[in-house]
């Protein structure tokens, strides 16, 4: 066996953090679309009210997906909680369950 220890677990490098520069503009665009949808409903489109409320669930799911992804990318619960304005414990309690 040529001196190689095959019982060692391969070491994975720590994930590198990425800076995505278009996130601010993308988020602003998304806020404008949601606000426009609210204004449209306010002009009498009562049928669209349910769709507007459904966006809340979609947003909650997207936040959960983002948090899970950030954790996989190496961010701590403290870092995530700080960005959300909540404690590390609160973030972990809300999104730290088994996927």
Give the C-alpha separation, 33 to 52, whole Å.
Answer: 11
Domains in the chain: boundaries: 32-95
Q: What is the pLDDT of residues 7-38, one digit of tens each?
A: 555 565 566 666 666 788 888 999 999 999 99
Find the farthest-apart pair of alpha carbons in the chain and give their distance in angstroms, rounded: 78
What was the pLDDT predicted at 23?
Answer: 83
Mean pLDDT of the chain: 85
For residue 4, pLDDT beyond 60: no
Say how far residue 7 (Cα) sits from the centre of its chain. 37
DSSP string of 16-75, one letter each residue: PP---TTHHHHHHHHHHHHHHHHHHHHTT-GGGHHHHHHHHHHHHHHHHHHHHHHHHTT-
What was the pLDDT predicted at 14?
Answer: 63
């Amino acid at each position: 066996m040529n001196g190689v220890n095959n019982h060692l677990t391969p070491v994975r490098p720590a994930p590198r953090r990425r800076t995505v520069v278009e996130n601010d503009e993308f988020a602003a665009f998304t806020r404008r679309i949601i606000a426009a949808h609210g204004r449209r409903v306010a002009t009498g489109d009562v049928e669209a009210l349910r769709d507007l409320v459904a966006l809340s669930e979609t947003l909650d799911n997207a936040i959960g997906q983002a948090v899970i992804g950030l954790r996989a990318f190496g961010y701590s619960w403290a870092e995530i909680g700080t960005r959300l304005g909540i404690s590390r414990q609160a973030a972990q309690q809300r999104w730290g369950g088994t996927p």
